[in-house]
Amino acid sequence: MKILGIIGTIVGAIAGILGGYLQFVLVPAADIAESRWRMATSDAYFGSLEHQLDMSTMSAATDFGVIVMGAGLLAFLLSIVPAIKKQKIAWIGVGLGVIMFFLGAAHGTHMFS
């Protein structure tokens, strides 16, 4: 059970790194792309390469949010049984898994939009 708790904590740490990348890199880039998309009034913009890049940036944040949500769920599932069996390191994996699940759900499923 201790090995499973360590694996869950490692998966939780990886989910935390992915969640940090999502929160501090992809989401601000998607917000900038969305503001450019909302301000566009020209018909030339909607057929341009810049429009396609803006749309792919906005969808990348959503797609990456789903990945973070899945990694958080995996970390939670791997860590919950060892945590119940009194492995203290597994509680770190449980905590990271829950936090990353909700961070991914917030950006990947439009839960708060």
In this structure, the chain runs to a length of 113
| Digitized pLDDT (tens) for each residue of the chain, 113 residues in all | 889 999 999 999 999 999 999 999 999 999 999 888 888 877 777 878 888 898 999 899 999 999 999 999 999 999 999 999 988 899 999 999 999 999 999 988 877 76
Query: In the prediction, which pLDDT does 51 show?
Result: 86
Q: Outline where 1-113 has alpha helix (H).
A: 2-21, 27-39, 43-46, 49-84, 88-108
Q: What distance in Å separates the CA atoms of residue 89 and residue 83, rounded to the nearest whole number? A: 8
Query: In the prediction, which pLDDT does 113 show?
Result: 64
